[in-house]
Amino acid sequence: QLYATSQERLGVDGSVEDVEYREIEGSCFAAAKPVPILDPNIVSVSQSALALLGASTQDEIWAEQLCGNKLPKGAAPAAHCYCGYQYGTFSGQLGDGAALMLGELISTSGE
């Protein structure tokens, strides 16, 4: 089960139009649709992180879920919006959605 606590607190622009660029106002996240990946594979695993989540590398669904092919219950895919300086000039809003947050997990110990 995933949760969207950060997104709820910081706001999500709900538009998921297929556009190259859109200005996001009043939100830290922009809703986004993951692009399907053909035959995903996990190439590196943190065993200690999996242990915190009560998960195993034997769970084949993880590759499909982590790449966004099959969204887990509670998933709310979103790109993080941010701003800053690039090449010495303030560039305004950035965040291309190359990496998406699917949600937050709560470990078996409640963290």
Torsion of CA 55, 57, 58, 60, to 10 degrees: 90
Average pLDDT over residues 60-76: 84
Q: 18 pLDDT exceeds 70? A: no
Q: Give me the percent of the chain exceeding a pLDDT of 70.
A: 86
CB contact burial 19-54 (16+ within 10 A = b; e otherwise): eeeeebeeebbbbbeeeeeeebeeeeeeeeeeeeee
Looking at mean pLDDT, say which of 17-26, 47-56, 60-69 comes out highest.
60-69
Q: In the predicted model, what is the mean pLDDT of the chain?
A: 80
Q: What is the pLDDT of residues 97-106, one digit of tens each?
A: 677 888 888 7
